[in-house]
Structures are given as C-alpha cells and as structure tokens.
Amino acid sequence: MSSKKVTVVGAGIIGASIAWHLTEAGAEVTLISSERGGVATPRSFAWINASWGNSHAYFGFRARAMQEWKRLAAAVPAIPYTECGGICWDLPPEQLKAYAEEHAGWGYDIRTVTREEIARMEPHLADLPQFALHAAGEAAADPLATAQALIDGAKAKGAKLLEETVLSLDMENGRIIGLATSEGNHETDEIILAAGVGAVSLAATAGITLPVKSPPGLLVHSKPTGKILNGLVIGEKAHIRQTGDGRIVAGSDFGGTDPGTEPDKAAAELFQTVQAMLPGAGLELDHYTVGYRPTPKDGLPIIGPTSCEGLYVAVMHSGVTLAPLVGKLVAAEVLAEPQDELLAPYRLSRFASIADA
Ligand SMILES: Cc1cc2nc3c(=O)[nH]c(=O)nc-3n(C[C@H](O)[C@H](O)[C@H](O)COP(=O)(O)OP(=O)(O)OC[C@H]3O[C@@H](n4cnc5c(N)ncnc54)[C@H](O)[C@@H]3O)c2cc1C
C-alpha cells in the first residue's frame, strides 16, 4: 500500500477513475473539481468499443480497456455497465467487410449479420441494411453515474473532495509546489491533471502546451419509453442506444456533430431521423446536449508526466471506453514510479516533433 499524497484535478470519468484506483492502492488523494461528474462526461454517448478506424496498437489499448470495464464494474456494483453488443453499418459495404476482416483477425468478437438477423435482434428498427456487423463485446455505461460511483468509492476510502475551480498551478524551480483555487491556495507536490478541455489553460499556467481541440458534439435525448432497443445501433443515419432509464440517446455520429448556429433546428432534424429509425415507438424529444470533446490533435490520448516535475496529465477522447484502464495504469505509474510501456505511445512528448503542436 502507498502512503503517497496526490492531488487529482478533474472529477469527470477520467479523474474519478484515477482517484478511485489511487485510493484503492492506499494513496492519500485530494480530488478537486468545479463540476463533480465532469463536463464532457455527462454529455457523452458512452459507447465502449474498439471499433474501426484505429491503428492495431490503439485497437489493442481500447480492447484491453473493454476487458478492464468488466473488472471495474464487478468491483463497483453501483456502476451501470451493460455489455449489450452493437450492430454497425455506418460504412459503405466494402469498407464494412474490410473492417470485419481486419478486426476479426485482431481478435475482436465481430461477425456479419443478415437483415433477417438484425430484425430479430432489434425488432423495432426500421429501414434495415442488407447486412451489418455485430460486435458482441461492445458495451455502454451511464457515464455520469459511473463517475459518481467512482467518486463515492474513492471518498469511502478516504479521498478528500473539494468543489473548487483551479485558477493556476504554482511552481518553483521547475517543480509543482501547489495550486491556487477560487477558495485559496493548496500546497501539493504531485498533481494529476485530468480536467478534460479545462486542462489546456491550467497546463499553460505551468508553461506546458497541450495540443487539444474541443469540437462540439450534439446529442438528442428522448423522454423515457418502454424497452425498444436491446443493444447499440451504429447505423448509417444515426448512432443510437437506450439508456437504463429508458431514454433513446442519439447523434448523427456517436461523438455528436457540430450543431452550427441553430442548435434547436439541428436537434429537431436529428430527432426526426431517430423517430424514422424507430417508427411506432412514439418517441418524444426531451432535450438535447452539446458536449465539447477533449480531443488531442492526433486523436490519441495524452497520458504521462510532463517536463514540469510533479505534474502528470491525462486528457483524451474516448474517455468512457478508456477510463478503467487509464485509471489503473496511471495510478500504478504515479505510485510506483517506473513508466508503463503500455502508455509509451501516449506521452505528451510525441508532439515535440510536430510543427503545429
Ligand atoms: C457528444 C460526445 C460523445 C462522446 N461519445 C463517446 C463515446 O461514445 N465513447 C467514448 O468512449 N467517449 C465518448 N466521448 C468522449 C468522452 O465522453 C470523454 O473523453 C470523457 O468524458 C472525458 O472525461 P474527462 O474526465 O477527461 O473530462 P470531463 O468529463 O470534461 O471532466 C473534466 C473535469 O475537470 C474539471 N475541471 C476542468 N477545469 C477545471 C478547473 N479549472 N478547476 C477545477 N476543475 C476543473 C471539471 O469540473 C470536470 O470535473 C464523447 C464525448 C462527447 C462530448
């Protein structure tokens, strides 16, 4: 067990997971955040996957994270995790076939399903394709409830929670000595910055540049309804799933899309598309959300120590998929010192050679 003192800034799903894993290892944790449960986290589609479009190495990282979800959900029963599987046909047929072949070769549990099989799996869905792919291990978890369950778990093991806005990181001779918040100054010699898009301006106060964009993502949420979906639907026109409380949540893409200058109109149009995919369900729009996705410029996570001694960063997209693995690896690395090879591709230092970083 460790007796190290660590301050985690950010209580979205990433900061919450790191704090939970640190307290499990016996560390003394202070968790500081302006919004408990996160900023991007509660506005996320929350599809847990290692789907198409990534390198073999990053696929492997994500697939490992999917396994770590099982461990974390078993350890924290309050986490609403469901391994519901996903049906995907949001690529042209040739690309779908190539995706299935590639990922099956990498060990992903994926197979082709016919129109008839899709109709059996999701009887409420209309406008079905000739074929799609089914990934049985894909999952979802209410992201806000997950973050809250992890925060509660960390608190039960002694973590101190401060609902404060961090204004700057304080340094002396190139090392962290504390931070200044809306409520005053705190001394600390180890900070893990897991503040999502908010990490960019905070890191800058320590002279660290984080090449992170924050694209907006519109999602629509229906009023709760009876069970009409069994799993994730990554369809051509929209990505949809049903939450534990019966809402249909959907985006043109799981990451949401830019709502432009007329978000009400964009949300209404998107919801019409969703209604057409689930006719007869009597879906009613409840509300829409626009979340800003913490997205490093090359799409890969930024995880690791910085050139400022005592400052560690953990900022990423796909944070819902990655949270259990990232929490585990970061806690182990921060407490045990030796760097974990699995995290090697995700260091901030990789941007040093990119001209526009
Ligand atoms: C529309 C949308 C769809 C998405 N879909 C998926 C998906 O399907 N699958 C997936 O894996 N990922 C998805 N993501 C990405 C995922 O949600 C994020 O990667 C993840 O939520 C990031 O979590 P986080 O804890 O790093 O950041 P956040 O949830 O943004 O939390 C940041 C925390 O830092 C705190 N903070 C920030 N600045 C300060 C400050 N100055 N002082 C104090 N506290 C501060 C905030 O209060 C908050 O607690 C999606 C995101 C969006 C927006």
- CATH classification at residue 258: 3.30.9.10
Domain count, the chain: 2
Q: What is the average pLDDT score of the chain?
A: 95
SS3 readout for the chain: CCCCEEEEECCCHHHHHHHHHHHHCCCEEEEEECCCCCCCHHHCCCEECCCCCCCHHHHHHHHHHHHHHHHHHHHCCCCCEECCCEEECCCCHHHHHHHHHHHHHCCCCEEEEEHHHHHHHCCCCCCCCCEEEEECCCEEECHHHHHHHHHHHHHHCCCEEEECCEEEEEEECCEEEEEEECCEEEECCCEEECCHHHHHHHHHCCCCCCCEECCEEEEEEECCCCCCCCCEEECCCCEEEECCCCCEEEECCCCCECCCCCHHHHHHHHHHHHHHHCCCCCCCEEEEEEEECCEECCCCCEEEECCCECEEEEECCCHHHHHHHHHHHHHHHHHHCCCCHHHHHHCHHHHHHCCCC
Q: Per the domain annotation, does 56 fall within a domain?
A: no
Q: Per the domain annotation, does 106 fall within a domain?
A: yes
Question: Are 252 and 125 in the same domain?
Answer: yes
Question: Are 207 and 300 in the same domain?
Answer: yes
Question: Are 338 and 302 in the same domain?
Answer: yes
pLDDT at 355 over 60: no
pLDDT tens by residue, 89-129? 999 999 999 999 999 999 999 999 999 999 999 999 999 99
| pLDDT of amino acid 4 | 78
Domain finish residue from 261, 276, 292:
292
Question: Are 131 and 151 in the same domain?
Answer: no
Residue 19 CA to residue 33 CA, distance in Å, equals 12
Q: Per the domain annotation, does 169 fall within a domain?
A: yes
| pLDDT of amino acid 336 | 87
Residue 154 CA to residue 47 CA, distance in Å, equals 24
Report which of residues 318 and 339 the model is more confident about: 318
Q: Which of 165, 302, 317 to mutate to test the pocket of ligand 1 (most atoms within 8 A of CB)?
A: 317
Task: Kindly give the distance from the C-alpha atom of residue 280 to the centroid of ligand 1, in angstroms, as a whole number.
Answer: 34
Q: Per the domain annotation, does 60 fall within a domain?
A: no
Ligand 1 proximal residues by C-beta, below 6 Å: 9-15, 32-35, 38-41, 43-47, 165-166, 194-196, 198, 202, 217, 219, 254-256, 291, 293-294, 316-321
Task: Kindly give the distance from the C-alpha atom of residue 12 to the centroid of ligand 1, in angstroms, as a whole number.
Answer: 6
Atom of ligand 1 nearest to the CA of 256: 1
Domain finish residue from 292, 310, 340:
292
pLDDT tens by residue, 7-46? 999 999 999 999 999 999 999 999 999 999 999 999 999 9
Task: Kindly give the distance from the C-alpha atom of residue 41 to the centroid of ligand 1, in angstroms, as a whole number.
Answer: 4
Atom of ligand 1 nearest to the CA of 216: 53
Question: Are 223 and 322 in the same domain?
Answer: no
pLDDT tens by residue, 267-301? 999 999 999 999 989 999 999 999 999 999 999 99
Question: Are 176 and 244 in the same domain?
Answer: no
pLDDT tens by residue, 256-268? 889 999 999 999 9
Domain ranges, residue 255: 86-136+215-292
- CATH classification at residue 173: 3.50.50.60
Q: Per the domain annotation, does 50 fall within a domain?
A: no
| pLDDT of amino acid 357 | 40
Question: Are 300 and 288 in the same domain?
Answer: no
Domain finish residue from 292, 321, 344:
292
Q: Per the domain annotation, does 73 fall within a domain?
A: no
Question: Are 170 and 101 in the same domain?
Answer: no
Question: Are 155 and 187 in the same domain?
Answer: yes
pLDDT tens by residue, 189-218? 899 999 999 999 999 999 999 999 999 999
Q: Per the domain annotation, does 74 fall within a domain?
A: no
| pLDDT of amino acid 255 | 83
Question: Are 224 and 178 in the same domain?
Answer: no
Question: Are 148 and 285 in the same domain?
Answer: no
Q: Per the domain annotation, does 99 fall within a domain?
A: yes
Question: Are 131 and 234 in the same domain?
Answer: yes
